[in-house]
Amino acid sequence: MSKLGFPWTASRWPKGVNRKPPTRKTGMNYDTEWSRKYPARLARAILLDNLIVPTSFALLKPSVIGEENLDALEPPVIFAPNHSSHLDTPLLLSLLPPKFRHHTVVAAGADYFFDRTWKAVLSSLLFASIPIDRTKVSRQSAYQALKLLEKGWNLVIYPEGGRSPDGWFQEFKPGAAYLAVRSGCSVVPVYIHGTRSILPKGSNKVHPRGARVSVIYGHLIQPYPQEDIRELSSRIEQAVAALADEYSNSWWTSRLNAARGTTPSKRGPSSSSWRRSWELELPSNERSGGEGQDKRWPL
């Protein structure tokens, strides 16, 4: 018995005729417009306010510093946090005031969060994520982000481009600065502490016990007239590093260091990975030895 042909099966493509490759609907080609329409926004607001926010406070017990820096802000703004864990995004959205929380999109790696349809749907629904190309400069990524800023949406973008492998800062990429210059929007530097100890990169296990989680909002950063994008990116990194200094020391010490230009670098020592982790994670009194000398790696 012969096999059923067209129209019961797909027709054959004529030989000798070039065939266009199928258009991918994932990655940078995933359409997130549906996630910003009212039904999806309502569902996201319900999930954030009734599930993610209570869970974040119950499990992480975060402390918040610098909330007053957000009081007088008018959207849209660009939030630029450090990034060390998948918990950073739900935590940050949970702690944002409602006027920001429910009108904020998150720039997420197209190669990770949008490589599968189910991941793209979940990320878009829960966090209003938009795909961003982390491997190269992409006009498509920038165009979508700029259009949303123009429409009044706030944006969370991680200048490091991905989670830190060891907790130290990675070099800040100019994406946040570029969007700030092109859109005229101001940047809010944010320092997130403690999430890596709960869910570090490369781990699927959550360890919430004993972790101290904090989020610090810095003062607004506005692009100077004719400011170079890389100069602004450097200012953003220095501002986030100053917030980390404030957490480790005190507000006054961090302000003095910032004014003197002596804020410790948060990129860590140039050494092997185990030494970088040792320096970052162990308290100084556990590194001391031999006549009480502190063996901290110089920053």
The stretch 260-267 carries a mean pLDDT of 84
Residue 268 has pLDDT above 80, yes or no: no
- pLDDT confidence of residue 253: 87
- 95: phi then psi, degrees, rounded to nearest 5: -95, -10
Which residues, at least 6 apart from 168, have a Cβ–Cβ distance to it below 8 Å?
266, 267, 268, 276, 280
Q: What confidence score (pLDDT) does residue 266 get?
A: 82
CATH architecture of 34-264: 3-Layer(aba) Sandwich (3.40)
Q: What is the mean pLDDT of the chain?
A: 85
User: In a 10 Å sphere around its CB, with 0-12 CB exposed, 13-18 middle and 19+ buried, how is residue 264 labelled?
Assistant: middle
User: Longest C-alpha distance within the chain, in Å?
Assistant: 91
* pLDDT band of 207, cuts 50, 70, 90: confident
Write the pLDDT tens digit of every residue in 71-114: 989 999 999 999 999 999 999 999 999 999 999 999 999 999 99
Q: Sketch the domain layout of the chain as residue ranges.
A: 34-264
pTM of the model: 0.84
**78 strand-pairing partners:** 155, 187
What is the average pLDDT across 166-179? Answer: 91
Mean pLDDT in residue range 145-172:
93
For residue 56, pLDDT beyond 80: yes
Q: What is the pLDDT of residue 277?
A: 66
* pLDDT interval class at 296 (50, 70, 90): very low
**pLDDT at residue 176 greater than cutoff 50:** yes
Structure confidence at residue 261 as a pLDDT band (50, 70, 90): confident
Strands 187-193 and 78-81: parallel
Residue-wise pLDDT tens digits, 217-248: 999 999 998 899 999 999 999 999 999 999 98
For residue 14, the model assigns a pLDDT of: 75
Interaxial angle between packed helices 117-127 and 88-95, expressed in degrees from 0 to 180 and rounded to the nearest 10: 20
**Residue 272: which pLDDT band, with cuts at 50, 70 and 90?**
low
